[in-house]
Amino acid sequence: METIITIDIETTAVRVIAFDLKGRQVAARKGTYPTFHAKPDISEQDPEQVFITVLFVLKGLLNDPVFMKKNKVLSIAFSSSMHSVLPIDKNGVPLGNAIIWADNRASKEATELKKSALGIEIYQATGTPIHPMSPLAKITWIKNHDPERFAKTSKFIALKEYILHQFTGDYLIDYSSASATGLFNIHELRWEQKSLNFAGITSDHLSEPTSIFNSDLRLRPALAKSLRLSDKTKIIIGSSDGCLATLGSGVVGEGQATISITSSGAVRVAGNEVLQDEKQRFFNYILDKGRYISGGPTNNGGVAFEWFARQFGNFNNGLDFEDSIYDLFKDAAQVSAGADGLLFLPYLLGERAPLWNANARGVYFGINITHEQQHFVRATIEGILYEIYSIGKLLQNYRKIDNLYVNGTFATLPLWSQIISDMFGKQVNVNDNHDSSNVGAAMLALTEMGIFSSLDEAAKTIQSSITYQPNQANHQKYQKFYAIFETLSHKLADEFDLIAELQQNQVD
């Protein structure tokens, strides 16, 4: 059977999934790697560790005797999380760890730029909010605070570009991933000179932008031999995880939105026009020429719940981490909507949309003598989802949203999906395949191969077999608690700044 392989390089894991030429999953493997937090605002990953994990997982799938006997691989398509920055020298050797999206060390650089006229011009040209997450801010931070490394850097690339280079020897970046850097003009499909000037670099410091359908790359001969793949196997550069998760949910038209929750989270809509917001609260990333994925991301998706599970999960009965998490979900299901008045502000890693405040911090609010652990579990889940709701609520001022489609490890869990439905007061649809970024990469690859005539045709094949209907009583209850959540998130801005400064000083 002829197949395609998709590789999704997530924040904490890589998922390698094989599909047949009808878009049906035939095999899958997963591997994980850590994120390092030397300080509260630092989030880094070892590029070699990520690459080795990708290679190990890919080999594990390809070397499976059953898979190799039954399947022929025609192409490999890539998806990846956005906003990472990895400085490399002229020989392609990493100059330290990769700085990932959750890193907030460039807060000062981003804040000063956002307040300026130049910041407005850059946002309008690039579609990327001015924030420490963006490679624009990260590269500027390196220039200002690590001039020795900056001077040694031949190129600033993302983890996906590094892995593609290891696979092929080329430095390319797809238009979609480029559009998430703050360095790329999404209207003219070229590196934005004003951004380059601000960061103190030239276009030579960056990879060459290309179409998401680019399939000109080929595996290095030695790697192809090691993987036992034909030298004719296509390497399709692919897109960013956010854009592909939206495509993989079947959402490419008006009136629909996707909610993704993995380590981070996002609410996204698709359209043919850039979403204009004078407060710069939304991103506008390229799916394909003339097609934009707009919306808002949160730093604090599943990573916030995993933090809670590590601190308070039950590991005394021989349970592994995933079992402990599911035990906590059972506890949360025993508590009614609203967690009996306990609220959680989930800002463990600062926050992006809609606050765009890198200094935001986590808070449990409303604790009284009757609250037990199960209330904290429920409040933690609801706090993450209140933040998701806040993004969706704001988006609805600009785009009509009739139906919600959820994807990702956490959003597709029954308890989470039902809470999302209750908060929004809308039907929630769950795709048959929860790994929507891989599905989107498969749809892209099948379109490149001519099996689908367009991404729109590919998206129509996506099915949602499970739906959730809102409980109106819970919806009304959540509206009341959300009003307090929203007020606290903004009212504590000054205190967030003060405690963030004190925390940083304690570490220093």
Convert the pLDDT of each residue in 431-487 to its tens digit: 877 789 999 999 999 999 999 999 999 999 998 889 999 999 999 999 999 999 999
Q: Which of 359, 362, 389, 377 is nearest to 300 (CA)?
A: 362
Using CA atoms, how far apart are residues 383 and 373, in angstroms rounded to an integer? 15
Stretch 294-306: mean pLDDT: 96
Sequence-distant (≥ 6) Cβ neighbours of residue 482 within 8 angstroms: 386, 389, 390, 423
Mean pLDDT of the chain: 95
Report residue 421's pLDDT band, with 50, 70 and 90 as the boundaries. Answer: very high
Residue 169 has pLDDT above 60, yes or no: yes
pLDDT in tens, 248-265: 999 988 899 999 999 999
pLDDT computed for residue 431 by the predictor: 84
CA–CA gap between residue 297 and residue 133 (Å, rounded): 10
Tens digits of residue pLDDT in 188-200: 999 999 999 999 9
Average pLDDT, integer, range 400-426: 96
Banded model confidence at residue 507, pLDDT cuts 50, 70, 90: low
**Band (390; pLDDT cuts 50, 70, 90):** very high
Name 363's Cβ contacts closer than 8 Å, sequence gap at least 6. Answer: 343, 344, 345, 347, 488, 492
CA distance 497 to 503: 10
Share of the chain above pLDDT 70, in %: 99
Q: What does the block give as tokens for 377? A: 């579990």
Which one, of 248, 249, 282, 255, lies nearest residue 271 by Cα? 255
Whether 318 has a pLDDT exceeding 60, the answer reads no
Rounded distance between C-alpha atoms, residue 211 and residue 76, angstroms: 16
- Which amino acid type is present at position 401? I
Residue 245 φ/ψ region, left for φ over 0, alpha for ψ in the -120 to 50 degree band, beta for the rest? alpha
Write down the pLDDT at residue 505: 83
466 compared with 314, residue with greater pLDDT: 466
Query: What tokens does 386 get?
Result: 């209140």
In this structure, what DSSP letter does residue 207 have? P
Q: pLDDT for 123-149, tens place per residue? A: 999 999 999 999 999 999 999 999 999
Q: Which residues of 353-372 are buried (b: 16+ CB within 10 A; e: fewer)?
A: bbbbbbbbbbbeebeeeebe
Task: Read off the pLDDT of residues 334-388 as tens digits, 9 standing for 90 and up.
Answer: 999 999 999 999 999 999 999 999 999 999 999 999 999 999 999 999 999 999 9
Q: Please calculate the CA angle 35-40-41 and round it to the nearest 5 degrees.
A: 80
pLDDT average, residue stretch 421-439: 93
Q: What residue type is 437 in one-letter code?
A: S
The whole-number pLDDT of residue 268 equals 97
* Section 154-168 average pLDDT: 98
Which of residues 325 and 47 earns the better pLDDT score?
47
Average pLDDT over residues 321-341: 92
Distance of alpha carbon 438 from alpha carbon 17, whole angstroms = 7
**Alpha carbon separation from 188 to 137, 209, 258, 277, 412 (Å, rounded):** 21, 12, 27, 20, 37
DSSP secondary structure code for residue 387 in this structure: H
